[in-house]
Copies of this chain bind each other. A is one copy, B any other.
């Protein structure tokens, strides 16, 4: 008998990751390519179909059969229609009926949610959030996503298509312009893009000395990992960018703990690999920006599953009996 499987997909600002997930929540196969959103919606959409079809073949080779696809996409999405409403980090997908188009292309039912919500489902099931009743999730990538787990469940708010968009909380109304158009969002201080732009701004002012940052900038390979490397080597610009990142994250977390009356946060996403550089400033900032609780009461945890959190969560989405599937026409 064929084993039932699902595909979990994480469509991020930079990478498009896929996984084959069984009913027990184990990941059997993985795929990863660039999202290539800059090349337009058609290219991203074709990559998405191709990756899913490859995993369908992979499932067959394992004696399994794919039943459905769970899709996590960065930004504001509408699960009922399967459309992306507004995605600051994937503007090419704005308004795109990603779930119906994918369902048609691969002949499988597709369920859509926000990428940070699927991260939350994964970490709650098998990661750092396991056993914690209430927590705030923050996903540090090209942009910043978020989720809220309240009373052990993913919080969905009024069903407006967005929730826990922590990246677009304003932490400093006089702060830098964000990609969403607002000024001073958390994302404009603490995302992978903010790190990269911080280096670019310094270079534009002629304030970038010799070293890994200038080398990578000139080679066109500057990314958050390079800024992390530079900070570990003691580069003062890189260190100041992580200082600002920790400051902004700490202010946002302090504000949200103050309002939600909770004390736990799980921070994941690719840029969480720079943990050693921002956790100190983050803790200091929570301390400086809280009057209702002591920073020693706060539990700031690093996501335990890495990239697998969102992949597993997207798979879990497709296993939910109550999932709102979009079927192929």
Considering only CB atoms, which chain B residue lies closest to A136 in the complex?
B259
CB distance from A109 to the nearest CB of B (A): 25
Tell me if B160 and A263 are in contact (CB < 8 A).
yes
Judge whether A131 is part of the interface by a CB distance below 8 angstroms.
Answer: no
Which stretch in A166-174, A209-217, A219-227 binds the other chain?
A166-174
State whether A160 touches B86 (Cβ < 8 A). no
Given A160-B297, A170-B251, A297-B160, check contact A261 B155 (CB 8 Å): yes
* Residues in A122-165 with C-beta less than 8 Å from chain B: 133-134, 146, 148, 150, 155-160, 162-165
Given the complex of chains A and B, what is the CA–CA distance between A258 and B180 in angstroms? Answer: 13
Best-buried of A173, A254, A262, A289 by chain B (most CB within 10 Å) = A173
Q: Which of B148, B158, B168, B264 contacts A263 (CB 8 A)?
A: B158
Contact in complex: B254, A256 (CB < 8 Å): no
Distance between Cα atoms of A159 and B156 in the complex (Å): 22
Contact B258 A255 (CB under 8 A): no
Interfacial residues of chain A within 162-217, with CB under 8 A of chain B in the complex = 162-166, 168-174, 178, 180-182, 185
Give the residue name and chain of the B residue nearest to A264 (CB). Answer: B158
Chain B nearest Cβ from A296, distance in angstroms: 13
Complex contact B259–A182 (CB within 8 A):
no
B164 touches A261 (CB 8 A): yes
Find A133's partner among B146, B158, B263, B289 (CB 8 Å cutoff). B158
- When the two chains form the complex, which single residue of B86, B163, B258 contacts A169, counting CB atoms closer than 8 Å? B258
- CB-based contact B86/A162 at 8 Å: no
- Asked if A173 contacts B171 (CB within 8 A), the reply is yes
Q: Are A86 and B168 in contact (CB under 8 A)?
A: no
The residue from B134, B166, B290 contacting A259, defined by CB atoms under 8 A apart: B166
- In Å, the complex CA distance between A180 and B258 comes to 13
Decide if B86 touches A292 in the complex (CB within 8 Å): yes
A61: Cβ under 8 A from any B Cβ = no
Question: Which of A156, A290, A297: most chain B Cβ within 10 A?
Answer: A290
Whole-angstrom distance between the alpha carbons of A259 and B136 in the complex?
A: 10
Instruction: Indicate which residue in B159, B169, B180, B261 contacts A255 across the interface (CB closer than 8 Å).
Output: B169
A275 at the interface (CB under 8 A from B): no
Interface residues of A (CB under 8 A from B): 76, 86, 88, 133-134, 146, 148, 150, 155-160, 162-166, 168-174, 178, 180-182, 185, 251, 254-256, 258-264, 288-293, 297
Q: List 20 A-B contacts (CB under 8 A).
A: A76-B292, A134-B158, A157-B260, A157-B261, A157-B262, A158-B264, A162-B258, A163-B260, A163-B261, A164-B260, A164-B261, A165-B261, A169-B255, A169-B258, A169-B259, A170-B254, A170-B289, A171-B173, A182-B291, A185-B291
Seed contacts A160-B261, A163-B259; 15 additional CB < 8 Å A-B pairs: A134-B157, A134-B158, A146-B259, A158-B263, A158-B264, A160-B263, A162-B258, A168-B258, A169-B258, A171-B173, A172-B174, A180-B291, A182-B290, A255-B255, A256-B259
